[in-house]
Chain A
Amino acid sequence: MVHGAEWTTKELFTYPNEYIYWTIQIVMYPLMTGFVAGAFVLSSLYHVFGQKDIKDLAKFSLVFSFALLIVAPMPLLFHLQQPQRNTEVFFTPHFTSAIAAFGMVYLIYMMIVAAEVWFVYRKHFVEQAIALIGKGGLINFVNRLIFNLLTLGAYDIGEQAVHKDEKLIKVLAGIGIPVAFFLHGYAGFIFGSVKANALWTTPLMPIIFIMSAVVSGVALCMVTYIVIMEWKKFRAKKKHEDQVSVEIKGAEVDVIRKTSKYLIAAMIAAMTLEMLDLVFRGYTAMKSWDILRSVIYGKDFFNIFVLQYLCGNLIPFILLLIPGLTIRRAVIATLLVLLGVFMMRWNVVIGGQAFSNSYAGYMHYSMPIIPHNLEAFKEGAAGALVIAILPFVFFWFFNKFAPSLKFKRDNNE
């Protein structure tokens, strides 16, 4: 069977070769790179701009962003028809292609984030490696080996050396911000530069993507942070019910309130740009507008206006704006924001293929739910779920060596 026929239904006239070729994985791809960029920007707010009150969240965001970064290109692997040839993108890059450039930017960005994480945790690695000296047992031995490897041989944790580290962290975080924007702007450019697609082609696309990336990354970090902290608190309470002395800190509402301000600002920018795009299309009413309108206001109305704008933008916006933000309200709002961002990606990627290039017909994507064959797994709900879960698995693993979460109240700070 021809690729795409599995999930595409056609209506009226479409060219014979037209199918939904870019499916859920291409929705996941900008979603993931957006998370990466947003999480990194959040962490930089502390590292570069010295926003001390979000320090805990920022530290977590950095490590989480690294975990997300590893997963970011995986949707592409799931989606390629010849995934075994993926390295060709690096060995024979074709620089007029936005995807080829993405590979390069991704590698550079990866190095920056990895370096920053390393500088932040170098002291910790050394301390652990030293602490494990002389301890018996296989696990301790393996751990010591890993920590020794992680230090990369730099054992100097004198005041001067650590101070130097801090300076470098600031520099790396500073360089990282434009590169993160560039990375995600490129993801937007991949779509925005396809002149054949009436919905995608707009120079606003990269900026829209960058703004919604910040929104998504901040929201994801907030909600993940809250859930982990509250879960730990809950667990600890259960364990030590009688031991009042063990105080476990949950997510602090101050941190969340402060972060939600950044979230609101990013949301305003994202929404303004998206509205501008929509109004402009309607106002200029190019040839493609007839079919676009029938998709935007007709076929995709529920996805765009109800799920994306109402549930994903307006409601959480109001929830965050009402004074006296509580943790619970923040969780609901950020989850809704995440829904909104997912729907935005969906409406761009799938919505952009919902109409024929002949402007005379429509295509519908029915996402395969049951993975009855490899194709239906890779480009269906199951594959997307794998991609969605992986960053948390990676984070859990990284956090073992680079602990980014502080549960106990520490009065020294």
Chain B
Amino acid sequence: MTRRGFIITIVKGAALAALPAGALKVLSPSEVMAAIKETPVLWGFVVDTYKCVGCGLCVKACKQENEIPLEVPVSRTWVERYIILKDGRVLIDSPHAGANGFTSQKVNNIEVNPENIAKAFFVPKLCNQCENPPCVQVCPVGATYKTTDGVILIDRKWCIGCGYCIQSCPYGARFFNPILRVAEKCTFCYHRISQGMKTACVDACPFGARQIGNLKDRNDPVTKIIQNERVSVLKDAFGTKPQVYYIGMDENVR
């Protein structure tokens, strides 16, 4: 065998040896679905913090739509109030997830003098439907999964209630459903958006602070905002790749 022939054989052999490794790759159900048919939809969300006034109507609407009792303090979506004082201190609160609005001048039982406030704003939050969701990764029984259109859902009949996903979400988006006793979180109102409706919170917001759209549609207003304006996501460093984008984010937002 010539040296050249020998090298060619080696290369061929290596290529053959490498083939099965690739061929044996285990595909997740969503990958299989995506391989069969590329879905035309990827859900994305935009929150304009300049527009939010902290009325809490979105939280109330969400709780009603998704049957989370109003009186329990957990919620699929919530609104945080940030008050940055002139001396640099940052006060944050979200009483009752912000469902009743923010009418008190007290933050965590501290009376705030409006004179001392440098800036103040509201930040609505919800599940980020992360592209790389740690909550899906850790579920021991696969009860939490990602749909082809990018929404993370929970199988309520399959969840064993271990709470691992709750621990793994950096955003505090998850909790135990107080009635069903399984993991619970925002689903972008999947039952509504898949029927051509908007989410309950988007419909409830009188100021247009919340918008939902299809990120695969270049003409969708939400896609346009993300493409053309300066937006940011929460806790980028965790590598979760959130699909909820914020306009007017402040460095103090946690």
Contact = CB atoms under 8 A, between A and B. Distances in A.
Interface of A: 1-5, 12-19, 21-22, 76, 79-83, 85-86, 88-89, 92-94, 96-100, 103, 190, 193-197, 356-360
25 contacts: A2-B72, A2-B175, A2-B176, A13-B94, A14-B172, A15-B78, A15-B125, A16-B75, A21-B166, A79-B163, A80-B162, A82-B161, A82-B181, A82-B182, A83-B161, A85-B141, A88-B141, A97-B138, A97-B140, A99-B164, A193-B138, A195-B170, A196-B134, A196-B168, A357-B171
Interface of B: 72-75, 78, 80, 90-94, 96-97, 108, 125, 134, 137-142, 158-164, 166-176, 178, 181-182, 238-239, 254
Contact of A88 (B97, B160, B254): B160
A82 B168 contact: no
A287 to B, nearest CB: 8
Looking at chain B's contact residues, the main secondary structure is loop
Contacts of A3: 175-176, 178, 181
Contact of A195 (B90, B97, B238): B238
A92 B72 CA distance: 32
B167 A197 contact: yes
Contacts of B178: 1-3
Contact of A12 (B72, B73, B108): B108
Contacts of A76: 162
B141 to A, nearest CB: 4
Contact of B182 (A81, A99, A196): A81
A190 B160 CA distance: 17
Contacts of B90: 360
A82 B157 CA distance: 10
B168 A194 contact: yes
A16 B97 contact: yes
Given A1-B72, A100-B140, A85 B160 contact: yes
Given A97-B137, A360-B254, A17 B182 contact: no
A17 B184 CA distance: 10
A248 B170 CA distance: 59
A319 to B, nearest CB: 37
Contacts of A194: 134, 138, 167-168
Q: Which 10 A-B pairs have CB atoms at the shortest separation, nearest pair first?
A: A81-B161, A15-B172, A358-B254, A94-B142, A196-B170, A99-B140, A17-B175, A13-B92, A100-B140, A3-B176
Q: Which interface residue of B140, B142, B173, B176 has the most chain A CB atoms within 10 A?
A: B140
Given A76-B162, A86-B160, A88-B158, A360 B141 contact: no
A360 B83 CA distance: 13
Given A13-B92, A17-B173, A76-B162, A100 B254 contact: no
A392 to B, nearest CB: 27
A359 B75 CA distance: 20
B139 A97 contact: yes
Select the residue from A16, A97, A103, A360 with max chain B CB neighbours within 10 A.
A16
A16 B97 CA distance: 6
B73 A100 contact: no
A17 B164 contact: no
Contact of B163 (A1, A21, A100, A360): A21
A321 B228 CA distance: 69
A2 B140 CA distance: 22
A89 B182 CA distance: 15
Contacts of B97: 16
Nearest to B79: A16
Contacts of A16: 73-75, 78, 94, 96-97, 172
A214 B243 CA distance: 44
Contacts of A94: 139-142
A171 B73 CA distance: 56
A359 B254 contact: yes
Given A2-B176, A13-B92, A92 B75 contact: no
A85 B157 CA distance: 9
B169 A93 contact: no
A98 B74 contact: no
Nearest to A190: B164
Contacts of A88: 141, 158, 160
Contacts of B171: 15, 357
